[in-house]
Amino acid sequence: MNAIKETHFNFPGQTGFYKGKVRDVYTIGNKYLAMVVTDRISAFDVVLPEPIPYKGQVLNQIAAGFLKATADIVPNWVVSVPDPSVTIGRICEPFKVEMVIRGYMAGHAAREYAAGRRQICGVSVPDGLKENDKLPEPIITPTTKAAVGHDEDISREQILEKGIVSEEDYVQLEKYTRALYQRGTEIAAVRGLILVDTKYEFGKAEGKIYLIDEIHTPDSSRYFYAEGYAERQAKGEQQKQLSKEFVRRWLIENGFQGKDGQVVPEMTPEIVQSISDRYIELYENITGETFVKSDEKDVLKRVEVAINAALAAL
């Protein structure tokens, strides 16, 4: 299969390398990052054993489109996108929180709510909600940004008390988060989708806040189909959605939630293909464009050549 599981490049001026759950990130001259979005897939903070063909391309191209479409709201880290699976951008010092914003009672929030909790990350939510109901207004439920292990829920008050982010910066992060979510919601609506929840990461360079990483992708966001949403809610049916939640549900149904002693279920070729198909489906639905597969036989060579050319042009 034409999938990028890992990379081992050595670029001119390279001063560092970081392997994340999904991304391989090369530091160039302590000024730029060359980010390869691999086809690895993670769930419950565990990297699954099989890569998903075209997943990296889907994530990178969706993110590139949305970063361009929101550059008037907040500046972002991107300098160039020289390959379908690569973004090159400026180095920023990341804030150690992820800004999660939710417009609907879904996913992690729904699981917390079902367990009886009526405060999520310090934000109160009303009684009487069903899973996937629209919230009275979007809520921001931040998480810590863990270098290893699980990200954890944290409240605005705890972030400020611990000095993780200054109050001045955090107020700005909240404003950016709400404005980005509003823009993402509007774009999704044009495509017949509902942006249910999403997360944003920010960093700072030379005293300025930048939007970093990816935005509005199926790895960082959850989408419902707008058509039939109200009818499905009224009947208590599951929503038709485009997100990584279907991967989590498959894992849960097969006895895996990332806990000690649990084993990832076998990822058969059929499962891998179905996940790939779902990622491509989201790309086509959210962008309104036909997905064009990059089918070169030596995908790693293609990526390496593209990055070298882009770096030479900086």
- In 3D space, the residue among 39, 310, 90 whose CA is nearest the CA of residue 212 turns out to be 90
Give the Å distances, CA to CA, from 93 to 31, 34, 67, 90, 207.
Answer: 11, 15, 18, 10, 10
Give the residue-averaged pLDDT of 30-49. Answer: 93
In a domain, 143, yes or no: no
**For residue 231, what is the enclosing H or E element?**
helix 229-235
Give the residue-averaged pLDDT of 241-248. Answer: 82
Q: φ, ψ for residue 214 (rounded to 5)?
A: -100, 160
Tokens of 253: 């149904």
- In 3D space, the residue among 217, 279, 251, 243 whose CA is nearest the CA of residue 53 turns out to be 279
pLDDT at res. 294? 85
Q: Rounded CA gap, 291 and 280, in Å?
A: 7
Strand partners, 78: 89
Is the pLDDT at 149 greater than 80? The verdict is: no
Q: Rounded CA gap, 177 and 197, in Å?
A: 11
Tens of pLDDT, residue by residue over 150-184, are: 678 999 999 999 999 999 999 999 999 999 999 99
In a domain, 181, yes or no: yes
In a domain, 138, yes or no: no
Range of the domain at 69: 1-92+169-314
The single-letter code of the amino acid at 136 is P
In a domain, 253, yes or no: yes
pLDDT at res. 8? 96
Percent of the chain with pLDDT over 70: 98
Residue 265 neighbours by CB under 8 Å, 6+ apart: 250, 251, 254, 255, 256
192, 90 Cβ separation under 8 angstroms: no
Split into its structural domains, the chain has a count of: 1
In a domain, 105, yes or no: no
Is the pLDDT at 240 greater than 80? The verdict is: yes
**For residue 251, what is the enclosing H or E element?**
helix 245-253
Q: What is the DSSP letter of 44?
A: T
Tens of pLDDT, residue by residue over 11-29, are: 999 999 999 999 999 999 9
Tens of pLDDT, residue by residue over 65-108, are: 999 999 999 999 999 999 999 999 999 999 999 999 999 999 89
In a domain, 43, yes or no: yes
Tokens of 15: 């001063």
* Residue whose pair of structure tokens reads 């920023």 in the numeric block: 92
| 3-state SS class at 233 | helix
**Residue 147: pLDDT band by 50, 70, 90 thresholds?**
low
**For residue 98, what is the enclosing H or E element?**
strand 97-104
**Residue 246: pLDDT band by 50, 70, 90 thresholds?**
confident
Q: What is the DSSP letter of 219?
A: T
CATH number of the domain enclosing 259: 3.30.200.20
Give the residue-averaged pLDDT of 121-141. Answer: 95
In a domain, 160, yes or no: no
In a domain, 67, yes or no: yes
